[in-house]
Amino acid sequence: MPTMHDVARRANVSLSTVSYAINGTRPISEETRQRIFAAMEELGYRPHALARGLASKRSRILALLFPTSERGMGTTDLEFIIGAADTARDLGYHLVLWTSDINDAVELRQLIQQGLVDGVVLMEVHLNDRRIAYLQEIDFPFSIIGRCADNTGLAYTDIDFEQTVRTAVQHLVELGHTDIAFINHAREVFDAGYGPAVRTTDAFQRITQELGIHSVIRFCHPTAQAGYTTFNALIDERPEITAIAAMNERCFPGMLQAIADRGWCVPDDISLISLVSSPDVAEMSMPPLATLAPPAAELGRLGVELLVQQLDGRPVSITERLLPCRLVLGGSTGERRAPTLNPPSQFSGVADPGL
């Protein structure tokens, strides 16, 4: 493997000149520059990443920190990761994956102290995340995909939940719906202050009130069984509901089952829309669910960009980047059903396939 030394000799210049030529750290006469690059080409030379990192104190390696334990449905997370990896590469960085189940600042310290990475991108942060406090304390560059309780001064990117919920509700309102239910995450998750759950709930309440829409909010565990039960309880209690927006995609199969059991039809008898689930998943339902697709790849990209901006010493003017989800229609939303029958249906002769 050729080294810088080899290149220097071949180009008849000193080693440092090669270095400066490569890094553009210092003006080089066009002629020698040519010679150097020619020599590099001929030798197939590539700078050694470790040596460069050691000498310059910049490894050009970033870490993506994501807890493998508390992950959701996957496909979205994968997009985060790929978006981040792609962007890192585009910006001349490497990306290492740190799967820490521990949200411990201790483990993070050990990793950082290895001097491997120039900065970290955090995912799945908690409202009061010790890791963040630690990173600030030691003044280590980082960015966040997600949000904390207090985000002042933090470089973060997140879903614009307000706008996302607004889009969903408006879509339903435009279809004539006036009684809309919101199926939330599980109560424990909400009570623990899980950001997406809290923010969407707030937004839903505010927006429905603003638009004069009757609303209900229900917690629901992320299982088909819970979806089934929750739906039935909801409709029994509030039969006037004609549309449901749900924050957890895993309750849909159960809800669809419950709907079928009643002999109802989507979207004729009830409209469904998923908040924040990927179109891929939404298409696994019948009919495909309308969804607000999270801008996962973009968030991954922004997470890295916000970090690299700091590393490159660029003034990080805007440190907050909120991206709305994109409405993807899928056939599960339609005009509000005629309020004549209550609850209405077309046929009731559908067999119960069991749950």
Partner DNA sequence: CTGTTAGCGCTTTCAT
Partner DNA sequence: ATGAAAGCGCTAACAG
Q: Phi first, then psi: give them for residue 47, nearest 5 degrees.
A: -60, 145
Residue 304's SS3 state is helix
Of the candidate spans 30-38, 150-158, 190-198, 259-267, the one that interacts with a second copy by CB under 8 A turns out to be 259-267
Dihedral, CA atoms, 329, 144, 52, 91, nearest 10 degrees?
A: 30
Residue 139 in contact with DNA, rule: CB under 7 A = no
304, interface contact from DNA, a second copy, none, CB < 5-8 Å by kind: none
Vertex 317: Cα angle to 301 and 304 (nearest 5): 20
47 binds a second copy (CB under 8 A): yes
Q: What is the DSSP letter of 336?
A: P
Contact 322, 159 (CB under 8 A): yes
Q: Residue 243 in contact with residue 177, Cβ under 8 Å?
A: yes
The stretch near a second copy (CB under 8 A) out of 71-79, 141-149, 199-207, 231-239 is 71-79
Question: Closest distance between a second copy and the C-beta of residue 260, in Å?
Answer: 7
Q: Which does 229 bind (CB under 5 to 8 A by kind): a second copy, DNA, none?
A: none
Task: Say how many residues touch a second copy, by CB under 8 A.
Answer: 67
Cβ–Cβ < 8 Å for 90, 32: no
Binding to a second copy (CB under 8 A): which residues in 81-100?
Answer: 81-82, 85-86, 89, 94-99
Which range touches a second copy (CB under 8 A), out of 17-25, 164-172, 184-192, 285-293? Answer: 285-293
Q: Are 99 and 66 in contact (CB under 8 A)?
A: yes
Could you tell me which stretch among 4-12, 128-136, 170-178, 255-263 binds a second copy (CB under 8 A)?
Answer: 255-263
Q: How far apart are the first and last CA of the chain?
A: 63
Among 9, 10, 31, 133, binds DNA (CB under 7 A): 31
Regarding 32 and contact with DNA (CB under 7 A), the answer is yes
Which residue among 235, 266, 273, 304 contacts a second copy (CB under 8 A)? 266
β-pairing verdict for 271-275 and 214-218: unpaired
Q: Does 112 bind DNA (CB under 7 A)?
A: no
Residue 308, token pair as written in the block: 């690299």
CA distance 322 to 151: 13
Element (H, E) at 42: helix 30-43
Instruction: Name the binder of 327 from a second copy, DNA, none, CB < 5-8 A by kind.
Output: none
Provide the binding-site residues for a second copy, judged by CB under 8 A: 1, 44, 46-51, 53-54, 59, 61, 68, 72-75, 77-79, 81-82, 85-86, 89, 94-99, 109-110, 113-116, 224, 249-250, 252-253, 256-257, 260, 265-268, 278, 280-281, 283-288, 331, 346-347, 349-351, 353-355
